[in-house]
Chains A and B, each alone.
Chain A
Amino acid sequence: MQVKESGFENVVIRFAGDSGDGMQLTGTQFAAAVAQEGNEIVTMPDFPSEIRAPAGTTAGVSGFQVNFGKSNVRTPGDFVDVLVAMNPAALKVNVAVLDKGGAIIVDTDAFNAKNLEKAGYESNPLEDGSLEDLEVYALPITSQTLEALKDSALSKKDRGRCKNFFTLGILLWLHDQEPDYSIDYIKSKFARKPDIADANITVLEEGIAYARNKGVPQAQFKLSDKRLAPGEYRNLSGNKAVALGLAAAADLIGLNLYLGSYPITPATEILQELAVLKNYGVKTFQAEDEIAGICSAIGASFAGALAVTNTSGPGMSLKSEALGLAVISELPLVVVNVQRGGPSTGLPTKTEQSDLLQAMYGRHGECPMPVVSASTPGDCFYQAIEAARLAVKYMTPVILLTDGYLGNGSEPFLVPKVDELPDLSGLKREVEPEGFSPYRRDEKTLARDWAVPGMPGMQHRIGGLEKDYVDGSVSHDPVNHEKMSLIRQEKVDRIADDIPDLEIFGDQDGGEVGIFSWGSTFGAIRGKVEKYRAEGKSISHIHFTHMNPMPKNTAEVIAKFKKVVVAEMNLGQLDQILRAKYLVDSIPLTKIQGKPFREDEIANVIDKLL
C-alpha cells in the first residue's frame, strides 16, 4: 500500500455508505478502538438531512470521518487517506476528498448496473480506469458477510445488515487493532438479542480473517506512539459534553436542572441525554414548540431551578422574544445554540458559526446577554459549567454557542475529578424577607435577589413591563427606564472582571500576524499556526471563549499585532464586532461551506501576510 509509507503522524479515514448501511456506527466503533490505544482522535459525522433518502442515491450518502494519530490531531482532517465506500453513490460523493495516493475500500457487490445508474455513473469506475492513481481494494463485502452467516438463523435481511461489522473487521486488520473492544461493545449493545450479537461477532472476525487472507497490507498504519496525557479517558461528543456539564453545574451549585426543549437538528441529543438522568434530579420537558421550550424553562427558573433550553438557529429565532423577557425579569437561564447552516432551514446537518451577531444583538430593545462559546467537544463540558455559573451568579440568561461540528464530533475526554471542578457552592445567594424587594441587588455583581414561590414573606410580581428601580413595581417613568437599562448593561459588563484574560498562543509581545478566532475553528487554526511557527514565522493565535463581555485585555492584545486576522465560519461576524469595538482594520478569513477550515484555505489568506 502506498499510503503514507512511513513517518506520518496521522491517518484520516472516511466511512461512507447509504444512510441505512450503519457507517456512523462503524466509524464510531473504529474511532473508539483506536482511541483505546492512546491516539488522539477527532471525528466528524456527515449525514444528509433526509433520514433515509432513496437507497443508492447520492442524496442518501452518510459519512463518518476519523482523524487519528500521535500529534497535532486537531481537526477531522482536510483530506482522506482511506475511503470506505459501500456503494457507487458513496464513492461518487467522496472520491474528491482522497489525497493523491489514497486508498479505497469498496463493496463490489454494490457496484451493479442499477446502483451505478442511481449514482449517475455512466461506466463502472472500478473498471474504467478513473481510479488509476488510487489503491483500490475491491472486496465482495456483502456476499462474504452472507457467506459467513450461512448457518445463522437470522433472516437474509438481518444477515445483510451485519456487513458494517465485516467492514469494521477489515479496517481493524488494516490498522492492526485488536477486536476485543468492539466485541465487548457488540455484546453489550445487543445484550437482549444474543443471536444478532453472535452474528455480528462472527462477521467481525471473518472480516479480519478475510483481509488477512486476501493480503490486504497492514502494519504501516499502526500508530503506536502515545501522546495523550496520562489519565482516564472517555469518548465524548460536544452535545453529550454540554449535557454532562449542565448536570454537573446543577449539582455543584446545589440546584435541580430543568431543561425545556423542542427537538431540532443538531441539538436534540442534549435533550435525549438529559432525559436519562432522572435520578440526578434532572427534569426534562419536551414542549410543544420552541417558544414553549424556553418559556417553560423561564417558568422553572422563576420557580427556582437551574433552567436551560437548547436549540439551533431557527429555534433561536423563535426564542428571541422570550430572551427579552428573561433579560428584563433578570432570571438565570442557559440557552444552548448548537449552530447550523442558515438562514431559515439552511443546512440542518452542516456546521456554521453564523449566529454570533444574533446571540450578541438579535433581540429588540437594549437587551444585553452574556455569550460564551466552546472550542472543542470536550470544552463544551467546561463552557456549559461556565454559562451556568454566570447565569446564577449574575441572575441573567446566558447564551452558550456550540455548533454542529462540535455537537456531533467527538474526542477523547480526560475524565475530571469532581473536586477539581470549579467550586460553585454558595453561588446562589440566600435572600431574606427583611426589606425584600425583587430588584434588591448585590452591590458587587448587581444581581437581583432570587426569591422563589413558596418562600414566605417575599411574594412579588415580575414581568415584561419595566419595573421601578427601588420597589420593583410597574414603572413607565422615563428616567427610571434609562436607569434600569443602564444597570442591566452594567451588570453584564461587570462580568469582564470575572473571566480570564485572552491568552496569546505564540509571541507574547505580539508580532507580524495575530489570528483571532472563536468556537469550533480552534483546532484548525491552532494546528496551522503551530506549523507556521515551526517554520519560524511570526504568527500567533488568540482564541475567544467569552464573546460578551470580551476579556478586559482584548484591546491591548489586538494592538500587539501588525496584522489582525479574524477567522470564522461565517461572512465575518466577529470581525465586525472587533472593528466596531476596537477600531481595528482587521482582515476577515471566512468560510461558509458547512465544513471546518482546511489548511490550504487558511494558507491562502495568511501566506500573503507573512
Chain B
Amino acid sequence: MSDMKIDKKNYASAQEVKWCSGCGDYSVLKQAQLALADLGLRNEEVVFVSGIGCSSRFPYYMNTYGYHTMHGRAMAIATGVRTQNPELSVWVATGDGDALSIGGNHFVHAAKRNMNMVVILMDNRIYGLTKGQVSPTSDKGVITKTTPYGSIDNPLDPVKLALGAGATFVSRSTGKNQKLLRELLVKAHQHKGFSLVHILQNCLIFNDNVFDRYTDKENAEHSLILEDGKPMIFGSEMDKGIVLDGMTPKVVNVADVDPADILVHDATNEDSILPSMLSSLPLDKFPMPMGVIRQVEGECYGESMRDQQEQVTSKLGSGDLQQLLRGNNTWTVA
C-alpha cells in the first residue's frame, strides 16, 4: 500500500488543487492517479486534455503533459494530439456541459472514429463554474438559476449517446464507488479505442445529493453493477434480478425465478442490443447500470491514419521534395 502511495504522488503536479472541498472531482483525480500507477505509465507519455468547467481544471493537477483548452473542444484537440502521435496515452477530462452541450459534436465524432482515448466525463448535472445553471443532463423540472420555475428540457444520457455514436467502450460509475472507478479507468485505458467513463459526480455547492439514490448504501436498490458473464443481480441483499419477458425487461425477486432465467451481461457482443436496452431502462422502475456496459473491438482512427500513411509510403516510396515541386507536367522556356 505504501508503494502505491508513492506511485500516486508520482502523477500529482505541484499545483494546488482548487476545487471546493468535498467536491466529487477529488475522488476522480485520486483514482485517475492510482490508475496511472496501476498501468505503470511513464509521466511523459501521458497527455491530459480538457475543456472548460470545474472538471476541466484536471490537467493542472497531473504531473503529465496537459492542455486546458476551450469550452467544448477538448476532444477535438485530443484528436489532433492522438492523430499526430498515436504512441501517446491520451486522456480527456470533461464535464456534462463541456462534452454534451457545447462540445456535443466533437463527442459524437470522437466516438464514431473510435479515437483511442479515455474520456473521463464528470457529470454533476449542473453548470458549476458559472455557479449553478441547468445542464444537458439535468432532470426535467429541476430548479436552477436559469430555470426558476423548473426546467422544461429533457435530459441527455451520455451513455446512450456514446452507444448511438458507436463508442467501443462505454462504462459508468459513481464518483463515490472508488474501487469501481479505479477499475474502470484502468480498463478504459487498456481498451484500444474510444473509452467513455461516465462518472456521476457530486457537486456539493450547486447540485448536492442529486445522485444519492445511486450512492447511498441503503439505496443499492437503484444501481446495477454489471460484470461480464455474470447474471444481472442487484439490491442491498442482492435479491433482485432482471429477466426478459419476451422483449420486455422486468425486475424480479431472484427467489421467484429459475436462476437460469436471469439475464447475463455480455459487454463484448458485436451488436449493441443489450447495452442499448440497459441504457434505455426507465429509472423509476429499474436500477442504473454501472460498470462496463459495452466493450468491443474496432479499428482506431489515429492508428489507421498512421497505417495508411505507411502503406502509401511503402508503395510509392518516400516523397522527394524536388520531384513534388516539379509535378508531372513541366515545360522549359529556353
* Interface residues of A, Cβ cutoff 8 Å to B: 32, 35-36, 38, 226, 228-236, 244, 247-248, 251, 256, 258, 260, 277-281, 283, 285, 287-289, 291-292, 295-305, 307, 321-322, 325, 329, 415-418, 452-465, 473-474
Residues of B close to A226: CB separation below 8 A: 333-334
Chain B residues whose CB sits within 8 angstroms of the CB of A256 once the complex forms = 84
Interface check B2, CB cutoff 8 A:
no
CB distance from B318 to the nearest CB of A (A): 6
Q: Is the CB of B59 within 8 A of A474?
A: no
Additional pairs, 17, CB under 8 Å, beyond known A279-B317, A307-B84, A461-B59: A230-B332, A234-B331, A235-B329, A244-B324, A288-B76, A288-B106, A288-B108, A296-B80, A303-B80, A304-B85, A415-B327, A452-B65, A453-B46, A454-B45, A459-B65, A460-B66, A464-B68
List of A residues within 8 angstroms of B81 by Cβ: 299-300, 302-303, 453
A285 adjacent to B83 (CB under 8 Å)? yes
Q: With A285-B83, A292-B79 as known contacts, state yes or no: A228 contacts B333, CB within 8 Å.
A: yes
User: Could you tell me if A473 and B15 are in contact, using CB atoms closer than 8 angstroms?
Assistant: yes
CB A58 to nearest CB in B, in angstroms, measures 34
Tell me the complex Cα distance, A220–B49, Å. 67
B330 touches A461 (CB 8 A): no
CA distance A235 to B108 in the complex (A): 42
Q: Mark B26-59 against chain A: 1 for CB-CB distance below 8 A, else 0.
A: 0000000000000000111111011010000001
CB–CB B83/A296 < 8 A: yes
- Point out the residues of chain A lying under 8 angstroms from B8, CB to CB: none
B246 part of interface (Cβ distance < 8 Å)? no
* Chain A CB within 8 A of B322 CB: yes
State which of B73, B80, B327 has its C-beta within 8 Å of the C-beta of A302. Answer: B80
Whether A321 and B70, one on each chain, are in contact in the complex, defined by CB atoms closer than 8 angstroms, is yes
Residues of chain B within 8 A (CB-CB) of A280 are 318-319, 321, 324
Complex Cα spacing A419 to B182, Å: 55
Q: Assuming the A-B contacts A279-B313, A296-B80, A305-B84, are A32 and B329 also in contact, with contact meaning beta carbons closer than 8 angstroms in the complex?
A: yes
Please tell me if the beta carbons of B87 and A295 are within 8 angstroms of each other in the complex: no
Given A300-B80, A454-B87, A463-B69: A278 and B106 interface contact (C-beta under 8 Å) = no
B105 close to A (CB within 8 Å): yes
Chain B residues whose CB sits within 8 angstroms of the CB of A292 once the complex forms: 73, 76, 79, 105-106, 109
Please give, as numbers and ranges, the residues of chain B lying within 8 Å of A35 by CB-CB distance: 331
Can you list 14 A-B pairs with a CB-CB distance of less than 8 A? A36-B331, A226-B334, A234-B326, A234-B329, A251-B321, A279-B318, A281-B309, A283-B309, A296-B77, A299-B78, A321-B70, A462-B68, A463-B50, A473-B60
Number of A-B contacts (CB under 8 A): 206
Would you call A248 and B88 a contact (CB within 8 A)?
no
- The answer to whether residues A233 and B65 also contact, given A280-B319, A299-B79, A463-B59 and a CB cut-off of 8 A, is no
Closest to B301 in A: A285
Tell me which residues across on chain B come within 8 A of A416, comparing CB atoms: 325
B312 within 8 A of A: yes
Find chain B residues with CB under 8 A from A229 CB: 333
Chain B residues, CB < 8 A from A455: 44
**A-B residue pairs, 7 tightest by C-beta:** A299-B80, A463-B68, A280-B319, A296-B80, A295-B76, A461-B66, A300-B84
> Which of chain B's residues have a CB closer than 8 A to the CB of A244?
324-325
B257 interfacial by beta-carbon distance below 8 Å: no
A residues less than 8 Å from B87 (CB atoms): 454
CB of B13 within 8 Å of the partner chain: yes
Contact with A along B86-106 (1 / 0, CB 8 A): 011000000000000000011
B76 partner residues in chain A, CB cutoff 8 A: 287-288, 291-292, 295-296, 299
For A461, give its contact among B60, B70, B325, B334 (CB under 8 Å). Answer: B60
B305 part of interface (Cβ distance < 8 Å): yes
Contact B85 A454 (CB under 8 A): yes
What residues of chain A lie closer than 8 Å to B327, measured between beta carbons? 234, 236, 415
What is the distance, in angstroms, from B277's C-beta to the closest C-beta of chain A? 28
- B308 is an interface residue with CB less than 8 A from chain A: yes
The CA of A174 and the CA of B90, in the complex, are separated in Å by 63
Q: Is A232 a contact of B65 with CB atoms below 8 Å? A: no
A38: chain B residues within 8 A (beta carbon): 333
Q: What's the minimum C-beta distance from B29 to chain A, rounded to whole angstroms?
A: 14
Which of chain B's residues has its CB closest to A245's CB?
Answer: B325
> Are A459 and B63 in contact, with the CB atoms below 8 A?
yes
- Tell me whether A459 and B44 are in contact (CB under 8 A): yes
| Interface: B295 (CB within 8 A) | no
Cβ-defined contact, B67 with A462, below 8 A:
yes
A295 touches B333 (CB 8 A): no
When distances are taken between beta carbons in the complex, the residues of chain A under 8 Å from B82 are 299
Instruction: Please report which residues of chain B, range 275-334, place their CB below 8 angstroms from some CB of chain A when the two chains form the complex.
Output: 305, 308-309, 312-313, 315-319, 321-322, 324-327, 329-334
**Nearest Cβ distance between residue B326 and chain A, in whole angstroms?**
5
Query: Which chain A residues lie closer than 8 Å to B83 at the CB level?
Result: 258, 283, 285, 296, 300
User: Which residues of B sit under 8 angstroms from A36, Cβ to Cβ?
Assistant: 331
Cβ contacts under 8 Å, A296 to chain B: 76-77, 79-80, 83
**Is B174's beta carbon under 8 Å from chain A?**
no
Question: Chain B nearest CB: distance from A323 CB in Å?
Answer: 11
The answer to whether A461 touches B331, judged by C-beta atoms less than 8 angstroms apart, is: no
**A415 to B47, Cβ gap below 8 A?**
no
- Known contacts A231-B332, A260-B80, A300-B83; is-contact A322 B73 (Cβ 8 Å): yes
B64 adjacent to chain A (CB < 8 Å):
yes
Q: Is B80 a contact partner of A297 (Cβ separation < 8 A)?
A: yes
Q: Is the CB of B88 within 8 A of A322?
A: no
A462 to B81, CA, bound (A): 14
Partner pick for A288 among B85, B109, B312, B326, CB 8 A cutoff? B109
The reply to whether A302 and B67 form a contact with Cβ atoms under 8 Å apart is yes
Q: Whole-angstrom distance from the CB of A185 to the nearest CB of chain B?
A: 8
| Docked CA distance A158–B318 (Å) | 39
* B residues less than 8 Å from A418 (CB atoms): 321-322, 325
B162 to chain A, nearest CB (A): 16
Contacts of B77 in A (CB 8 A): 295-296, 298-299, 302
B79 pairs with A279, CB closer than 8 A: no
Asked if A233 and B322 sit within 8 Å, CB to CB, the answer is: no
Residues of A within 8 A of B324 (CB): 244, 247-248, 277, 280
CB distance from B193 to the nearest CB of A (A): 17
Q: Least Cβ distance of B107 to chain A in Å?
A: 10
**A251 proximity list for chain B (CB < 8 A):** 321
- Residue-wise interface mask of B (9-32) relative to A, using a CB-CB cutoff of 8 A (1 in contact, 0 not): 000011100000000000000000
Give Cα A299–Cα B115 distance, bound, in whole angstroms: 14
Q: Among A285, A289, A453, which residue has the most Cβ atoms of chain B within 10 A?
A: A453
Question: Is B312 touching A278 in the complex (CB atoms < 8 A)?
Answer: yes
Q: Across the interface, which residues of A come within 8 angstroms of B79, CB to CB?
A: 285, 287, 292, 295-296, 299
Q: How far is the CB of A183 from chain B (nearest CB, A)?
A: 14
| Docked pose: A462 CA to B315 CA in angstroms | 39
Give Cα distance in the complex from A289 to B110, angstroms: 12
Given contacts A300-B80, A453-B81, A461-B60, contact A289 B105 (CB under 8 A): yes
